Amino acid sequence: MWARAQKHVPKNHEEIFIVGNTYATLYYRSIRNMNTIKIKRVPVSVITKFKLWRQGKPSTRGRLQVSAKVGLFYSTSTGNTEAAAEWIQEKFAKHGDIAAPVDICEANVSDMQAFDSLIVGAPTWNTGADEGRSGTAWDDVLDELGALNLKGKKVAIFGCGDSVAYGDYFCDAIEELHAAFEPSGAELIGKTDPAGYDFSDSKSLVDGKFLGLPLDDDNEEDKTETRVENWCVQLVSEGMK
């Protein structure tokens, strides 16, 4: 079946999914000549969670069973940020005690306080926006993040973006999450050097450093594993365990 996705799309195009039993294929379709461009294939579960959130339906949020020191939270539109979170879990587990990735739409924000440290990630979908840049469930809980008591805890942020199609807004949501966590009293770590990235501009680039780890699986998927691995080593060196 055809399903319209309520997200930012290129000018004169609409975004559609052809949904099968297990996977959905994402396309951009020209409104002028109906030509389509295949973008990527994503799990149907990702599309289902996104639709439920957009429709304001109750989530499956429940109390987390906290048994690890580092909590790992993300939200995703196309599956890239979820995949990045899985890479982070795999690589960080070599150095410290990290929980399985949890989609923020399935968690209570207050559960974050139970961990010693946090790694959080978001895509940048609402490109050019001042607020609600991720286009995911994070946008609904940004105010709650600042109200958390994370004094003495470390927080690191990663983000997914498209440095080619949206190079002027590359991973802007990292900065928005960074600003949201600042009032919580957390120590924000994990800044990275922009060397090796090819982009035009980013709100997340402050004083010559990214405020977290930017990833681009749309154009530089071959670099993701190494970037994640190096970042996890950096986080441990900055005191996250």
pLDDT at 77: 85
pLDDT at 156: 98
Do 181 and 161 meet the contact criterion of CB atoms below 8 Å apart? Answer: no
pTM score, whole prediction: 0.77
Give the domains, in start order, of the chain with CATH numbers.
Answer: 2-48 (no CATH), 70-237 (3.40.50.360)
pLDDT at 67: 73
Mean pLDDT (the chain) is 83
The share of the chain scoring above pLDDT 70, in percent, equals 73
Token pair of 76 as six digits: 């995703």
Statement: residue 5 has pLDDT above 90 = no
> Tens of pLDDT along 134-181?
999 999 999 999 999 999 999 999 999 999 999 999 999 999 999 999
Statement: residue 19 has pLDDT above 80 = no
> Tens of pLDDT along 170-211?
999 999 999 999 999 999 999 999 999 999 999 999 999 999
